Amino acid sequence: MAESSTGTTQEQSPSGLPIKPIPGNYGIPILSPIYDRLHYYYFQGHMGYFKSHAAKNNSTVVRMNMAPGMFISRNPRVVAVLDAKSFRVLFDPSKVEKKDVLIGTYMPSLSLYSGLRPLPNLDTTEQLHSSLKSFSFHLLASRKSHIIPTFHEAYSSLLDSVEAKIASGPVEFNSLNQSSAFDFTCNAFLGAVPSEVIGPSASNKAAIWLLLQLHPLASRLTKFIPWPIEDLLLHCVPLPPCLARSDYEALEKFFSKAGESLLEDAANKFGLSHHVALHNLIFMTSFNAYGGFRVFMPILLKWLAYAGEVLHRRLAQEIRSAVDSSNGTITLNALENLELTKSVVWEALRLDPPVENQFGHARTDLIIESHDTAFRVKKGEMICGYQPLAMRDEKVFTNAEEFVPDRFVGEGKKLLEYVYWSNGPETVVPTMGNKQCPGKDMVILVGRLFVAHIFLRYDTFSAVHDGMVLGLDPRMVFKSVEKASDQ
């Protein structure tokens, strides 16, 4: 306890910060959650919504309603943590429970997963969590040598398509990336290309299944549907899982055959039943990996396009020099030496993490600290972290709102402990005891591969950010490409 300027005593946290009530309120039941949802999706946008609450309450820890709210989700009331320090509470399994909070206050129907709760919906205290996470580590380790060649196959073909079409006008990247990302992830993990086995509609089947899970988070599907109608369609009632039944059955058949050896490993090495392993393998590949890459690639392309030709020339020089030193091929060693390229990937993830929000329930009564104040959170309360704002904390990052390509070069690497895109600090290793993304290192590797493939082909390019796809990833359109001068 400490004495305030008025002579009264004020309770302090263990680190000496004053403990204050969490500002903000939840408003009028039913009406306020709906009002807040409309601001989140349509009137202010995600960033504006969180920034306005922080500014109004002069606090980066604040009570608010979280979309989608009424009537589709559970209790919309959350404690939002919006700075780099308070956000870290979400990474502590001893303080926060992560059971069924992957998509926040909304829980998709388990029939989308054949009645199972997939790994990301399991808390670290559940026995199955350790077995499934061990299986995910095994999958990544056993297939790591396939990542570079399968990426080259998929994305060389994508860039071939861009070059073939761009003479006739601008080329949308997202539609090409949807197919390439699914072919790449399945080929990398399973050694089979779904567009060749299932057909050209393979990625559409995965996309429909994803939409059935994520539609409460989507917005502005098309300019032809007025927002009040869209809100009723997407944010008020769950879309029936049966809409994805036939698509999921096709995926199930593909994964069961292509992943046969992995499913045998799951049984023999990790004690997992065929049913549990199969549907988690589908989830890991189609939701975690494919879903992540179809969002991440446009994000990375957006920031590369924004940075412009000066950065493009620097990246091209670094990448081509490293590849030349590796006998003209892209290798893990060559990619590891790309300091600027790695920094660019981390900076894109800092500004635009593919997953914006992290959630958890307070496991016990606990104290959360921001930079200058502490707050009490009661057991069971939901904590919501908005990563794009937490990773733009001006008290941690200089020019935090700007894209700084070499931010994480040299001494700048010390700031990686505040890069949280993977549900944990970039400096922390995923383990069976935490909820950090098992594929964290693969994402960074693939990001570097993407940048390398672009600048091995092109000295520079131009692309524009033309709205959002489902309100989840930036729609990117190539305007021009300048072939490498040394080709």
In order of 192, 221, 287, 471, the CA distances from 211 in angstroms are: 24, 11, 10, 12
The rounded mean pLDDT for the chain is: 95
Predicted confidence (pLDDT) at residue 19 exceeds the cutoff of 60:
yes
d(CA 343, CA 266): 36
Predicted confidence (pLDDT) at residue 395 exceeds the cutoff of 80:
yes
The pLDDT value given to residue 100: 97
Percent pLDDT > 70 in the chain is 98
pTM (predicted TM-score): 0.95
What the block records as the tokens of 192 is: 């089979």
The pLDDT value given to residue 7: 47
Predicted confidence (pLDDT) at residue 210 exceeds the cutoff of 70:
yes
In order of 148, 306, 311, 421, the CA distances from 337 in angstroms are: 16, 24, 17, 22
Q: Nearest Cα to 258, choosing from 186, 317, 356?
A: 186
The pLDDT value given to residue 471: 73
d(CA 444, CA 440): 7
The pLDDT value given to residue 479: 97
Predicted confidence (pLDDT) at residue 4 exceeds the cutoff of 60:
no
pLDDT band at 223; cut points 50, 70, 90: confident
Predicted confidence (pLDDT) at residue 396 exceeds the cutoff of 70:
yes
Predicted confidence (pLDDT) at residue 389 exceeds the cutoff of 60:
yes
Predicted confidence (pLDDT) at residue 359 exceeds the cutoff of 60:
yes
Amino acid at 196: E
Q: What is the pLDDT of residues 308-356, one digit of tens each?
A: 999 999 999 999 999 999 999 999 999 999 999 999 999 999 999 999 9
Sheet holding 61-65: strands in order across? 61-65, 77-81, 382-386, 357-362, 96-97
The pLDDT value given to residue 221: 84
Residues 342 and 419: beta-carbon distance below 8 Å: no
d(CA 52, CA 47): 8
What does the pLDDT average to over 441-452? 98
The pLDDT value given to residue 9: 65
Say which CATH topology domain 2-483 has. Answer: Cytochrome p450 (1.10.630)
Residue ranges of domains in the chain: 2-483
218-232, 279-293, 392-406: the lowest-pLDDT one:
218-232
d(CA 113, CA 209): 10
Q: What is the pLDDT of residues 149-207, one digit of tens each?
A: 999 999 999 999 999 999 999 999 999 999 999 999 999 999 999 999 999 999 999 99
d(CA 270, CA 280): 13
Decide: helix, strand or coil at residue 186.
helix
d(CA 88, CA 103): 18
How big is the CA angle at 463 (ends 337 and 335), to the nearest 5 degrees? 10
Q: Nearest Cα to 253, choosing from 287, 279, 289, 271?
A: 279
Q: What is the pLDDT of residues 111-156, one digit of tens each?
A: 999 999 999 999 999 999 999 999 999 999 999 999 999 999 999 9
pLDDT band at 8; cut points 50, 70, 90: low
